[in-house]
């Protein structure tokens, strides 16, 4: 990843912060953004390198996404990788599908689906001009498993899988690869917020339903993301890679 330019959305904490930090550690130049402050992420990365860019981003606003990619290109000259990590999850209230607040449903779709679409359409013109690029969309086991009491989240992540396949077919001729990663529930702040006081029990139940019966940690996903970002996966596109301990076998 040395001298590759990587953009990570939703990088204020959790998985996004981990991706940004690890790519910087691997020698990449990293642009990271979130609707919340990424100052903590910047502080961690500055311990490794000053080759980074801290930006504010609202993925539901196309102009904000366009500003992110334009400022990144202006600073680093190119964009090799986009990681669409920003998503609404911890802030969603778990309930039966018929009881979901319509406003919450709309927020989930706006951030988790429109946000991915916005970031992809903002970055593709730059990658198309370069004739290269890798887009990695973060989906979820919820989309394939049918996560109960989270119909809005599961449906939004299923849409991400569909978007991944469509965009991969449309941009392949420009040597742009588009893949998605679908993890099971990762032990992050967002997951703990979603599960609330039942968090520990929830993680235990999920782990027991996997072939590898352990709770997925933040460190367990980065290797898959790195693979898809690097030239080691240069003939892989349109795919969904499950990082779920063997919950769903494709």
Residues labelled as active-site residues: 153
Tokens, residue 185:
């529930």
- Closest by CA to 211, choosing from 185, 249, 169, 164, is 249
Distance CA 202, CA 196 (A): 9
Cα 114 from Cα 119, distance rounded (Å): 9
């Amino acid at each position: 990843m040395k001298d590759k330019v990587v953009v990570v959305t939703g990088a204020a904490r959790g998985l996004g912060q981990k991706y940004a930090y690890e790519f910087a550690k691997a020698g990449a130049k990293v642009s990271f953004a979130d609707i919340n402050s990424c100052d903590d992420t910047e502080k961690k990365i500055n311990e490794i390198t000053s080759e980074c860019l801290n930006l504010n981003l609202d993925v539901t606003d196309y102009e904000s996404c366009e500003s992110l990619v334009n400022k990144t290109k202006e600073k680093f000259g190119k964009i090799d990788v986009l990681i669409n990590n920003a998503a609404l999850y911890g802030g969603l209230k778990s309930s039966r599908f018929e009881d979901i607040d319509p406003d919450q449903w709309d927020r989930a779709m706006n951030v988790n689906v429109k946000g991915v679409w916005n970031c992809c359409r903002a970055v593709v013109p730059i990658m198309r001009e370069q004739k290269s690029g890798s887009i990695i969309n973060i989906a979820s086991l919820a989309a394939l498993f049918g996560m109960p009491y989270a119909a809005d989240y599961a449906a939004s992540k299923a849409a991400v899988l569909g978007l991944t396949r469509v965009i991969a077919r449309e941009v392949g001729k420009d040597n742009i690869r588009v893949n998605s990663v679908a993890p099971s529930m990762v032990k992050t702040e967002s997951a703990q917020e979603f599960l609330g006081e039942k968090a520990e029990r929830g993680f235990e139940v999920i782990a027991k339903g996997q072939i590898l019966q352990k709770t997925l940690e933040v460190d367990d996903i980065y290797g898959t993301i790195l693979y898809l970002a690097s030239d080691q996966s240069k003939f892989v596109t349109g795919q969904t890679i499950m990082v779920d301990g063997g919950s769903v076998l494709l």
